[in-house]
Amino acid sequence: MKKFLLVSIIVLSVIGCKKTEYAPEGPTDVRIRNLTDQTFTKITVSTSEYTDDIYTFETIDKYSTSEYFRFSKAYPKAEISATINGQVYTTGPVNYYSGITYIGQAKITFEVFISNSANKTLSISNCSLDAPLD
């Protein structure tokens, strides 16, 4: 009886120590919505700490949305720069190691606007979750 109890405890302990499954980091499909009355050109988007997660969209017209582009990983914050009337505007760098959680396998939209014309600063007003990945 003692052996059975000991074996049962060991078996339950091994089963209880099973590795926790986490959602995959990606891929994540990302698009950009231009909330301004200006046309964005050469829009560079960096969605994570990975060097492969950088993409340049050619043009996003005023009040328009780009097509989706697939990134291997994305966070609810991104570094976005765009040329507007010949001037480069940017959101500035993102510290991806500051405890923010990645999006996972989903389609998202970053809504971008000019927050400070004098400093040529863009901001993300919203990162909306559009749908799960197909």
Q: Return the pLDDT at 48.
A: 94
Question: In the structure, what pLDDT confidence band is assigned to residue 99 with cuts at 50, 70 and 90?
Answer: confident
| Angle (CA) 27 73 40, round 5° | 100
Over range 76-87, report the average pLDDT.
Answer: 97
State the chain's mean pLDDT as an integer. Answer: 90
Domain, as residue range, for 101:
22-132
3 within a domain of the structure (yes/no)? no
* Residue 63 near residue 114 (C-beta atoms within 8 A): no
Instruction: Kindly report, residue by residue over 105-133, the tens digit of the pLDDT.
Output: 999 999 999 999 999 999 999 999 999 98
- Specify the pLDDT at position 20: 47
In a domain, 12, yes or no: no
Residue 33 lies in a domain: yes
Look up the CATH number of the domain holding residue 106. 2.60.40.2890
Instruction: Specify whether the CB–CB gap between 38 and 60 falls below 8 A.
Output: no
Overall number of domains in the chain:
1
Residue 9 resides in a domain: no
Mean pLDDT of 3-17: 64
pLDDT score of 94 more than 90? yes
Question: What is the model's pTM?
Answer: 0.81
Mind listing the pLDDT tens digit for each residue in 37-62?
999 999 999 999 998 899 999 999 99
C-beta separation of 31 from 65 below 8 A: yes
**Region 26-41: what's the mean pLDDT?**
97
Residue 125 phi/psi, 5° resolution? -80, -25
The rounded distance, in Å, linking the Cα atoms of 56 and 30 is 12
